[in-house]
Structure 1
Amino acid sequence: MSIDPSSIPNFGGQPEPEPQGPAGPVLPDQDLVKQLLDQMELKYVVDEEGDLAAPWEQFRTYFMFRGEAEQAVFSVRTFYDRPHKIDEKPQLLESVDDWNRRTLWPKVYTHTHDDGTVRLIGEAQMLIGTGVDINHFVSSTVSWVRAAIEFDKWLVEQLGLEEAVNEADKPEGDGEGGPEGDAE
């Protein structure tokens, strides 16, 4: 099974072409997601547990298949790496609740680690056990990836993290320099 390039949503503002895929439902698998990520020109790795992951600078997005037969689920889960202090959790929860009310995906929640740091996780899921339309699968997956990226940008704006991001980009030394390295 392969993905028709015209089925990948266009983010450039032009109308999307009419997708054309196989007739009838398909059962998505990791190879299909790899093809999609290749066509989106996104780098990915397979982790030690066999899950597919696309790394960004501040987060990692995993593409996971869980369950069997009719209960099989495809999950796109993003782990945001920016640590937050435990005393910031009430503000994080307010922001996450606001995001979850305003958007369909990813649904975001907090995870408090044993060391007291709080990190965010976003997730979207699709039941795939009986098969899905290839066009629906592709457009949903692409939309979920885009929304995971948008959430990170939105959170930086909401919490005023631009300064922290800019500070992290400064070269070591006098502290007077501007951003260096590759910008994404």
Structure 2
Amino acid sequence: METWKGGPPPAANLVHRERDTPVSIDPSSIPSFGLPQGGGQPGGAPAGPPPVIVPDQNLVTQLLDQMQLKHVVDEEGDLTAPWENFRVYYMFRGDQKELFAVRAFYDRPFPLEKKAELLDLIDEWNRETLWPKVYTHTHEDGVVRLIGESQMIVGNGVNLEYFVGTTANWTQAAVGFEQWMVERLGLQEQVEDGDSASGEDGDTNEA
């Protein structure tokens, strides 16, 4: 499958749920991220505002399909898109599923004595970028790994175009952090060696 090249697909191609009923969205009512589109309502009247929707996992699945990203649903029911050295989860949390989170788990392990260097690194990332917020997680065996996270509240509804664009940007930023970290820590040679050893993996996306 061809991998996503970055940039959100037109929101008009997605189907959202409103009051638990699948609805096909009128393409003329959704801005198309700079792509040419027909003008407004019949007779030249301007198009109305994009719909406010309560997103769900089905909508995110459609978005990942249009971004041509491989994805699965894990044992806990969370949607995840796997890459070679990390996984991105798309999760709805809260009693009413009102919190949407895009969370990246970076698989590369670091020894505990390297944690101070990692904290300096992610402090720079968090200071200079909007998302994801990155933090460390120290396992019981002393291994340190990194997690990136972006969140928005969606329980009261959200503009469809905003949700689509933001989710795509958060995904791209999660990929970007992995590449940035590899460059900053001088891990490119390790990554290339790992790619050569593992060969072509049909179950993950390409960065």
Give the TM-score taking structure 2 as reference length.
0.74
3-state SS, counterpart of residue 52 of structure 2: coil
Which of 47, 62, 66 is the equivalent residue of 1:39?
66
Give the deviation of 1:167 after TM superposition: 2.9
Tell me how many residue pairs correspond in the alignment: 170
Tell me the distance in 2 between the aligned counterparts of 1:104 and 1:155. Answer: 16
Q: Tell me which amino acid in the other structure corresponds to 2:150.
A: A
User: For residues 63 and 109 of structure 1, do their structure 2 counterparts lie closer, same or farther at Cα, with a shift above 3 Å needed?
Assistant: same
Post-superposition, which runs of at least 4 consecutive aligned residues in structure 1 deviate over 2 A? 5-10, 16-24, 166-171, 179-184
In the alignment, the residues of structure 2 paired with residue 128 and residue 45 of structure 1 have an alpha-carbon distance, to the nearest angstrom, of 23
Give the secondary-structure state (helix, strand or coil) at the position aligned to 1:135: helix
Identify the residue that residue 145 of structure 2 maps to in structure 1. 119
Q: Which residue of 2 aligns with 1:17?
A: 35
| Aligned counterparts of 1:23 and 1:50: Cα–Cα separation in 2 | 29
1:139 match: secondary structure: helix
**Aligned partners of 2:61 and 2:31: how far apart in 1?**
13
Identity %: 54
Gaps of 5+ in 1: 11-15, 172-178
Shift of residue 23, structure 1, vs aligned partner: 3.8
Match of 1:67 in 2: 94
Tell me if the contact between 2:133 and 2:149 (Cα under 8 Å) persists in the aligned partners: yes
Aligned-pair distance for 1:98? 0.2
8 Å CA contact 1:52–1:63 kept in 2: the answer is yes
Shift in CA distance, 17/132, structure 1 to aligned 2, threshold 3 Å: same
- The Cα shift of 1:169 comes to 3.3
Q: Which runs of 5+ in 2 are unaligned?
A: 1-9, 14-26, 38-46
Q: 1:80 to 1:8 in 2, by over 3 A?
A: farther
> Aligned match of 1:137 in 163, 170, 174?
163
Q: Report if the CA contact (8 A) 2:82-2:88 is conserved.
A: yes
> Cα 1:151–1:40, aligned 2, differ >3 Å: closer, same or farther?
same
1:81 aligns with 2:107: yes
Deviation at 1:181, TM superposition (A): 3.6
Please say if residues 148 and 174 of structure 2, whose CA atoms lie closer than 8 Å, have aligned partners that are also in contact. yes
Residues 1:24 and 1:168: Cα distance change in structure 2 (over 3 Å):
closer
Question: TM-score by structure 1 length?
Answer: 0.83
